[in-house]
């Protein structure tokens, strides 16, 4: 299991390639990547992500450990960036490896659901017109946790 919190961009291809390599007992690897999305018409200049340095790593490790245990994963990877990012930049990725695809998919969804609402990150949108807005948490993101 590996959890990385960093400001710098990460190399998705290299991370995905290296993940769970050398394991011959994992039949399924699932990866998910979150990307800064422009809300249409070039309106978004940048996304700024603030985090809680003392807590972020621990919170992510706890979430990842729970996924590894619950789905008996062979490996799990979480990379999450903070700081300023432009549309199209990758914000974060998760990867899960399991003997079978169902477990790998479910564990990846679990990681994403918990990362959204239980990891101490806050997104702020900087619009091209110079306005800034904190992204509000959605009720549906909180509701998504109840299925686990």
Of these, 10, 123, 126, 127, which contacts another protein (CB under 8 A)? 123
Stretch that binds another protein, among 15-23, 68-76, 95-103, 117-125 (CB under 8 A): 117-125
Q: Does 124 bind another protein (CB under 8 A)?
A: yes
Interface with another protein, residue 110, by CB under 8 A: no
Assess contact for 56 and 120: CB atoms under 8 A.
Answer: yes
Cα–Cα dist 125/44, whole Å: 7
Contact 70, 130 (CB under 8 A): no
Question: Rounded CA gap, 97 and 25, in Å?
Answer: 9
Residue 18 found at the interface with another protein (CB under 8 A): no
Q: How far is CA 91 from CA 14, 24, 75, 148, in A?
A: 16, 30, 21, 24
Torsion of CA 21, 112, 107, 66, to 10 degrees: 100
52 forms part of the interface with another protein (CB under 8 A): yes
Using CB under 8 A, which residues numbered 71 to 90 contact another protein?
A: 80
* Secondary structure (DSSP) of 51-72: E-HHHHHHHHHHHHHHHHHHTT
Q: Which is nearer to another protein, 22 or 146 (CB)?
A: 146
Residues touching another protein, count (CB under 8 A): 26
Residue of 86, 141, 95 whose CA lies nearest to 118: 141
Could you say whether residue 55 binds another protein (CB under 8 A)?
yes
Give the nearer residue to another protein in terms of CB position, either 19 or 121. Answer: 121
Q: Which of residues 129-148 bind another protein (CB under 8 A)?
A: 134-137, 142
> By the criterion CB under 8 A, which residues form the site for another protein?
34, 50, 52, 54-55, 58-59, 80, 91-92, 112, 115-124, 134-137, 142
């Amino acid at each position: 299991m590996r959890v990385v919190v960093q400001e710098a961009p990460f190399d998705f291809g290299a991370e995905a390639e290296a993940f769970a390599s050398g394991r011959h007992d994992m039949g399924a690897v699932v990866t998910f990547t979150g990307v800064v999305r422009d809300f249409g018409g070039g309106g978004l200049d940048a996304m700024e992500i603030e985090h809680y340095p003392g807590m972020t790593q621990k919170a992510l490790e706890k979430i990842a450990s729970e996924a590894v245990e619950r789905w008996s994963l062979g490996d799990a990877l979480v990379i999450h960036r903070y700081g300023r990012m432009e549309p199209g930049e990758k914000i974060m990725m998760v990867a899960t490896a399991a003997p079978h695809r169902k477990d790998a998919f479910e564990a990846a969804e679990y990681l994403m659901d918990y990362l959204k609402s239980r990891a101490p990150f806050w997104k702020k949108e900087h619009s091209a017109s110079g306005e800034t807005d904190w992204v509000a948490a959605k009720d549906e993101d909180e509701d998504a946790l109840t299925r686990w």
